[in-house]
Every structure is written in C-alpha cells, then in structure tokens.
Amino acid sequence: MSVKELKGALSDEIMVDLFRKKIVHSDLNMLKFLRVDGLECIVRLFALVNERQGNLIDMEPNTN
C-alpha cells in the first residue's frame, strides 16, 4: 500500500490510536524479526501520524 493510499484509507484518529496502542507499547525485540516490508510499514505509519500532527520538520526546504 502506498503512502497516498494509506492517507486516504485511515482517519487521523485511527492512525494515532493504532500507532500508540500497537506500535509504541509493543516489545521492541519484535523488530529484529520483521522483514523489510514490515519495517517500512511501521516507518510510513510513524511518518504519517507525525505529519498530520505537525511534528515533522522539512529537512530540505525550498530555496526558490
């Protein structure tokens, strides 16, 4: 699922709830057993949650 599809599929509240209840409180030892696609899913969800809450900083600002 692409980032664009994920943005449209889940509401802000569902994404935040999912991330806080399932990812943040999980046993971090599980990360060593994840495949690349599973880890990418967690990273995408993390980025989307933080983007929607205004917690991301643009590291490559437009200079135009």
- Distance (Å, whole) CA 45 – CA 57: 16
pTM over 0.75: no
User: pLDDT at residue 43 above 80?
Assistant: yes
Q: Tell me how crowded residue 2 is: count the other CB atoms within 10 A of its CB.
A: 8
- Distance (Å, whole) CA 43 – CA 15: 12
Six token digits for residue 21: 């209840």
User: pLDDT at residue 1 above 60?
Assistant: no
18: helix, coil or strand?
helix
According to the model, what pLDDT value does residue 8 have? Answer: 66
pLDDT over 90 percentage in the chain? 0
- Distance (Å, whole) CA 45 – CA 58: 17
User: pLDDT at residue 15 above 80?
Assistant: no
